[in-house]
Amino acid sequence: MTPQRVCVLGATGSIGENTLDVIARHPERLSVYALSAFSRIERLAQLAWDARAEVVVVPDDSARQRFAQAWPPGRKSPEVRVGAHALEQTAADANVTTVMAAIVGAAGLPAAMAAARAGKRVLLANKEALVAAGSLFMAAVREHGAQLLPIDSEHNAIFQCLPQTGREQAPVAPEKGVRRLLLTASGGPFRTTALDQLSAVTPDQACAHPNWRMGRKISVDSATMLNKGLEVIEAHWLFAMPVERIHVVIHPQSMVHSMVEYEDGSILAQLGQPDMRTPIAVGLGFPDRIESGVGLLSLASLGRLDFEEPDLHRFPCLRLAFEALAAGQAACIALNAANEVAVAHFLGEEIRFTQIAHVIEGCLNKLARQATPHLASLDDVLALDAQTRLVAREFCLVQ
């Protein structure tokens, strides 16, 4: 077993910190080479100290200075690299074997793509990268012999429920014998809230997820269920599965992380505590099973597992995501970019919770009236992403 040297992109985030927790449990097989952060630079310094990182990547010179001030005086500092280009270079660095892509949003796409193009083992948490550039990303994985391991708990569960042979390459067709993928969703904090109260919910209420502790953006996405929509698109690319064979089922306890339904009538499910260290450990250890720090799930104390159909009237964002996937890549880019802008405005208390869906729908409708954009390269994707953000900001202003 060759030890892995890990680059954690987005180290100060919820996934980043959980990744460092798992890495620290396995010094014989895992070490940290590089960490990145966009804000909370003092926290980055602490994490880099604890993990003995050799490199850190920060966004600009002021962050570089903050890092230097936070570093213990007289102790050898990691090399500090600055800027978005340095992020891509570090993801592709020859010293790195494994990249945890845990930046939030399409901002993480170029670095995740750089890791794929450098043929790394890529642990993908950054679902927005696949939503915006699924076909380009999967092509890069295949062409450069990268190993892609899904970290999003649903996709990690599906990965575990699929046959474990022939997993070296990213699939180009659905796995033989599989009928459908069943993505579970908790329904978030507003699953049973009266519909007429949804327009008045606050960012803190939206971020109070019943089962998971996550960053604020994904927490709002879970409350609108746009997160599940992004995950449908993510599953489409990861498992080469047509949209009509991906089904969403509400499961409020979040103990079944997702399922694979086979032609013979079997459904295989993966269960466990709602703790991201399990999927992270699956990715870091694969094909071995390694300790994650997560306690066992007591089925008897859980008592029951509930399932129900999602209500697309309550969760219009989920409907919009299905529509975007059916419409094509440009619509998926617009869906994601519009959502990122709308969620930021909601978190800033500039628009209401229910207006997130209006902003996304407005952007998708506007895009549908235009000529189909040419999307052959990463630059094309990023250009449409930027263009949609401008439109989405206008929609936010008039809400």
Q: Which residues contact 288 (CB under 8 A, 6 or more apart)?
A: none
Which residue lies nearer to ligand NAD by CB, 69 or 266? 69
Interaction of residue 258 with ligand NAD, rule CB under 6 A: no
In whole angstroms, give the CA distance from residue 202 to residue 346. Answer: 9
**Shortest approach of ligand NAD to residue 9 CB, angstroms?**
7
Which option in ligand NAD, Mg ion, none does residue 103 bind, with CB closer than 5 to 8 A by kind? ligand NAD
Q: What six digits make up the tokens of 202?
A: 């606050």
Query: Which residue, 258 or 329, has its beta carbon nearer to Mg ion?
Result: 258
Which residue's CB is nearer to Mg ion, number 127 or number 389? 127
Which residue's CB atom is positioned nearest to ligand NAD?
13
In the complex, what is the shortest distance from the CB of residue 152 to Mg ion, in angstroms, rounded to a whole number? 4
254 and 274 Cβ atoms separated by less than 8 Å: yes
The CA distances from residue 110 to 76, 92, 251, 273, in Å, are: 30, 11, 34, 32
Least Cβ distance, residue 357 to ligand NAD (angstroms): 18
Which tokens belong to 352?
A: 């209401």
Residue with smaller CB distance to ligand NAD, 211 or 387: 211
Q: DSSP strand E in 204-338: where?
A: 246-250, 256-262, 267-271
| Sequence-distant (≥ 6) Cβ neighbours of residue 270 within 8 angstroms | 156, 157, 158, 160, 161, 256, 257, 258, 259
Token pair for residue 186? 């908790």
* R_g of the chain, CA atoms, integer Å: 20
Report if residue 125 touches ligand NAD, rule: CB under 6 A: yes
Query: Using CA atoms, how far apart are residues 200 and 188, in angstroms rounded to an integer?
Result: 16
The listed partner (Mg ion, ligand NAD, none) that binds 218, CB under 5 to 8 Å by sort, is: ligand NAD
Bridge-based pairing of strands 178-185 and 256-262 is antiparallel
Q: Which of residues 20-59 bind ligand NAD (CB under 6 A)?
A: 37-39
Task: Please report whether residue 152 would count as binding Mg ion according to CB under 5 A.
Answer: yes
Of 103, 238, 284, 318, the residue at the interface with ligand NAD (CB under 6 A) is 103
Q: Please report how close the Cβ of residue 313 comes to ligand NAD at its closest, in angstroms.
A: 25
Query: Would you give the binding string for ligand NAD spanning residues 126-155, x where CB under 6 A is met?
Result: xxx-----------------------x---
Q: How far is the CB of 279 from Mg ion (least distance, A)?
A: 9
Q: How far is the CB of 372 from ligand NAD (least distance, A)?
A: 27
Indicate the DSSP class of residue 257.
E
Find where tokens 């071995």 sit. Answer: 288
Q: Are 161 and 260 in contact (CB under 8 A)?
A: yes
Give the residues lining the site for ligand NAD (CB under 6 A): 10-16, 37-39, 102-104, 107, 125-128, 152, 212, 214-215, 217-218, 276
Binding region for Mg ion (CB under 5 A): 152-154
